[in-house]
Amino acid sequence: MWLLIIYVVVDLLLTPLGGLETRPLSQITTLGMTTLGLIFAGLALNIACLVLTLRRYRRSPVLGIIGSILFFPAMIADQTGQFSNLSLPTGIIYVEIVEAIVAISIIVLGTLLLREKAPPGLSPGRREVRTVLTIALLSVTWALVFLSTAVFQFPIGATGGYFNFGDIMIFIIALTFGPEVGGFSGGVGSWLSDFLGGFGTFAPFTLVIKGSEGFIAGLISRRGFKGRDIVGWLAGSVVMVGGYFLAESYFIAALFGASDLTGIVAATGEVPFNLLQVVAGGVVGIPISWVLRRSLRETPLSFILSKTRTKE
């Protein structure tokens, strides 16, 4: 347990909150952004592992092992100069070494704990396994949304926003795994991309809009009528396009002291880009979700699919 606490604390020291990281996000390479997403996913998994360990879940070390492994791609990229266009701060070098030692310790200890035989009456039940799998899925999916949103960005001058591929990933996740996973990953992953990418004004609106997009699309997709995926995609698209239009027309315009008319004009200029994003989300996301549902039926994640789907 103490190793997990140390890991979380040291991981936070690697962020700007720790005061050692001075490189701006704009100087991080595409590879760096990808590994950064893995770090956040690993941090979430280790926090979840800590919580489940306190609740005495025997399978919780699985999350700690996976979360710790996800740290190393970023460390390797950083130590070899592939993470950022700027040189690595001295303090970060030492912190990464410490975290690597802690991560290896968690992996080794977690492996040993998993190999131990459970005492009579303490073998992991189905509910415990499902809890671990669900938390792991949430950690991975919101990181995927973050990466697909943060790595592929094309600025839109009219509103100060940007075109991205995040909606493709949101629809894939929501239509495959349902409203809870779709809403959480869509909201958190997109919010983090805005927050870290210099679009903090949009971040709170993005959390609500993209979260609602994923939740509504996933909710409709678990209904039993024909064409539910298309209807879910259309409903989620309306939430996304309409939500940003209202946010940019009135709320964000008010924050910058602009009139409603100025906000409406600027927001109208972004509508075609948002429409293109959700169209791409449907064209790419719906077929991929069909493939994933069929592929995952015989895996441990089938319980999530059975919970969100009727017979295909």
Tens digit of pLDDT at every position of the chain (312 positions)? 778 888 888 888 887 777 888 888 778 888 888 888 888 888 888 888 888 888 777 778 888 888 889 888 888 888 888 888 888 888 888 888 888 888 888 888 888 777 665 555 444 556 666 777 777 788 788 888 988 887 777 766 655 566 788 899 999 999 999 998 999 999 988 988 888 777 777 888 899 999 999 999 999 998 878 889 999 999 999 999 999 888 878 776 565 555 666 667 777 877 888 899 999 999 999 999 999 888 887 776 676 764 545 445
- Sign of the alpha-carbon dihedral angle for 104, 43, 277, 28: negative
**Phi-psi region for residue 80, left (φ > 0), alpha (ψ -120 to 50) or beta?**
alpha
Same domain, 81 and 139: no
93: closest CA among 20, 177, 18?
Answer: 20
What is the per-residue pLDDT for 306? 46
Could you tell me the sign of the dihedral formed by the alpha carbons of 6, 11, 17, 23, in that order? positive
Mark which of 123, 140, 167 sits at the end of a domain: 123
Final residue belonging to a domain, choices 123, 151, 184 = 123
What pLDDT does 211 receive?
94
Q: Which domain holds residue 81?
A: 2-123
Rounded to whole angstroms, the Cα distance separating 241 from 136 reads 30
pLDDT at 308 (0 to 100): 47
Same domain for 262 and 189, yes or no, is yes
145 and 56, same structural domain? no
Same domain for 142 and 289, yes or no, is yes
Q: Do both 105 and 201 map to the same domain? A: no
Distance CA 19, CA 92 (A): 10
* pLDDT score at 252: 61
Total domains present in the chain: 2
- Length of the chain in terms of residues written: 312
Q: Pick from 101, 123, 145: which residue ends a domain?
A: 123
